[in-house]
Structure 1
Amino acid sequence: MTKTQVIETLDQLPEEFNLEELLDKLILIDKIQEAEKDIAEGRVYTLNEVRTFFMDKWPK
């Protein structure tokens, strides 16, 4: 995350805000960026891979 992104996030908030609200927004932005990096680097699972994993782990 960059200072610019933090400043842009601050600019989107009202003049008075709860610190938790700011932290929630910053954490969300950070997690989205991590996910986009994972996708770009091929660290993803297909729906079938996830289904197989859970079916093997928790059979009926």
Structure 2
Amino acid sequence: MTKETVKDTIDQLPDKFELEELIDRLIYIEKIEEGFAAAERGESKTHEEVKALVRSRRK
């Protein structure tokens, strides 16, 4: 995460906000960035692979 991302996130919040809201948004952004990075490394699963995984765990 970059300072710019943090600044942009803060700028999107109202003038008064709970610190927890900022933290939640930053964690959300971080998880999305991690997902994109994993996909770029080829560590993601296809839709069909995920469906198969879900089916196998239901049994």
Do the two structures share a fold, i.e. TM-score over 0.5? yes
* Higher RCO, 1 vs 2 (CA within 8 Å, ≥6 residues apart): 2
Where does the alignment leave 5 or more consecutive residues of structure 2 unmatched? Answer: none
Q: RMSD value over aligned CA atoms?
A: 1.4
Alignment of 1:22 with 2:22, yes or no, is: yes
Give the corresponding residue for 1:47: 47
Q: Percent of aligned positions with the same letter in both sequences?
A: 42
Aligned residues: 59
3-state SS, counterpart of residue 44 of structure 1: coil
Structure 1 stretches lacking a partner, 5+ long: none
Return the index of the structure with the highest Cα Rg.
Answer: 1
TM-score of the pair, normalised by structure 1 = 0.80
